[in-house]
Amino acid sequence: MSFEQDKRSLYERRRNILYLVANYFSIMGLNQSRQALLDETHLTEEFEVCDNIDLDTIYQEYCSYYLLKFGKQPRVVKRNESNAVQSAVPALPQRKQSGYRKRAQPTGKPLAVAPRGEPEADINDIKGLGTNLVVSQLVNQQTAPLPIEAVNPVPAVAKITENGNHSATTMASLRPFIRLHENYSSEWKELADVVCRDLIKKDLQQRWSQVKGLDSAIKLLKESVITPLQYPQLFVGLTKPWRCVLLHGPPGTGKTLLARTLCSETRDSITFFNATAATLISKWRGESEKLIRVLYDVAKFYAPSIIFIDEFDGLASRRDSVGEHEASKRFKNEFLSLIDGLDSGTDDERVFLLASTNIPWEIDPAFLRRFEKKILIDLPDAQGRSSIINELLPEYSDWSAKQQEELERITVHFTGDEIRIACKEASMMVIRDQIGQGPQPANLTVRPTAVKFTQLRAALDKIKPASLGLIEKHKEWNRKYGNGP
């Protein structure tokens, strides 16, 4: 059994090396050498090279390990001084210009590797994924080369109607992981992969019409993100779109709901990052600063982009607080320079920062200064509460005006989420009533039944509003520092 395991391990190791070599040949444009390798080794489409590894990465990590262990760089090749060996080595064939790609020199704009037969293109024009190659593209020679749009999709801005809905023609998805260009080190490529895990790739099924009682905040978000896409000629110079908006208010008032809706409504035209402390904070010295910089680099690469940070006070607390760690200060300083630094705010790097917090008074004043709009997400008014209940329980519109007025009076200090919980509890009462009617078959199908006023009234009595004291503190802070609509 041990012999069989060793034999299988040897086979897998050699097979993986061959796949890595074939992938490297394709990246370097050595198409003839790659084809010869494929023909001789019979590689199939059963396996593909993972995104987080290549020969260049392995080589750099080996050099780092050797330098750390022996204090010097390793020697990989040496001059061959044997004439006999030199005469025995055949001359290398000339590489065709069409299949060869020159390695880009370190410049401000990297070059993306185009498919065979296509010219090289600037990465800011393509906005694609670079050389994100798989083995199926290497070994399947019967398939015609992919067009440039298939490998590196061009992010054409989606057409958005006046009510914020998307038209039928939308841009190609930009959601796959980014393979940064070859001038980046393996460390920065790895950090970019970590950051790209926060990309929202799916439709969250949330629309503006479903959000009730937050009209002023919705209007400002559309003004900051959607309207500049519709009328870019109007938002120039002093009227550039808002770049930083802070949403503050008690828990449950709808701050995260607004972010979810903005992500759903703009997912075909804007790249959305849901950045969290788990992604941006690292235990390794200096890596947190690199992560926040990589996040902004990737967001600028895929501009227009939205970076949403929930519970922003956890990342941007006051720097003068007692016990503030040096690593936390360095991270915040780097973050501040990226939000409003020398290279921020250019026309071709539109990055919108959206943050939310329950305790804005804990945020460092330097961060507050950079937020152009600080919006209080207040408790819903009577009309807003009525709209929320009607959205969750359609039968609400059939109730009498007296019953509706009573519900508005009972929920005067409720947040939107507390009203949702009450409506859910009332719906669960309907299910409990149907299940509790004696023995039921195993394949019981619950009949949809409308929620009654008495059930919702009983559900509301079970919930105590928890934000009454906190909302007064938010209003006081908003009078001093807020500048929302």
pLDDT in tens, 264-279: 988 888 889 999 888 8
What is the 3-class SS of the chain, one letter each residue? Answer: CHHHHHHHHHHHHHHHHHHHHHHHHHHHCCHHHHHHHHHHHCCCCCCCCCCCCCHHHHHHHHHHHHHHHHCCCCCCCCCCCCHHHHHHCCCCCCCCHHHCCCCCCCCCCCEECCCCCCCCEEHHHHCCCCCCCCHHHHHCCCCCCCCHHHHCCCCCCCCECCCCCECCCCCCCCCCCCCCCCCCCHHHHHHHHHHHCCECCCCCCCCHHHCCCCHHHHHHHHHHHHHHHHCCCCCCHHHCCCCEEEEECCCCCCHHHHHHHHHHHCCCCCEEEEECHHHHCCCCCCHHHHHHHHHHHHHHHCCCEEEEECCHHHCCECCCCCCCCHHHHHHHHHHHHHHCCCCCCCCCCCEEEEEEECCHHHECHHHHHHCCEEEECCCCCHHHHHHHHHHHCHHHHHCCHHHHHHHHHHCCCCCHHHHHHHHHHHHHHHHHHHHCCCCCCCCCCCCCCCCCHHHHHHHHHCCCCCCHHHHHHHHHHHHHHCCCC
Report pLDDT for 442: 64
Report pLDDT for 40: 85
**According to CATH, what is the number of the domain 382-466?**
1.10.8.60
With a pLDDT cut of 70, the percent of the chain lying above it is: 72
Lowest-confidence segment of 31-45, 252-266, 388-402, 408-422 by average pLDDT = 31-45
For CATH 1.10.8.60, the residue range(s) in the chain are 382-466
Report pLDDT for 155: 38
Report pLDDT for 195: 83
Is the pLDDT at 308 greater than 90? The verdict is: yes
pLDDT in tens, 1-24: 567 777 778 888 888 898 889 888
Does pTM top 0.85 for this prediction? Answer: no
186-376: CATH topology is Rossmann fold (3.40.50)
For CATH 3.40.50.300, the residue range(s) in the chain are 186-376
The mean pLDDT value of the chain amounts to: 74
Greater confidence (1 vs 423) lies with 423
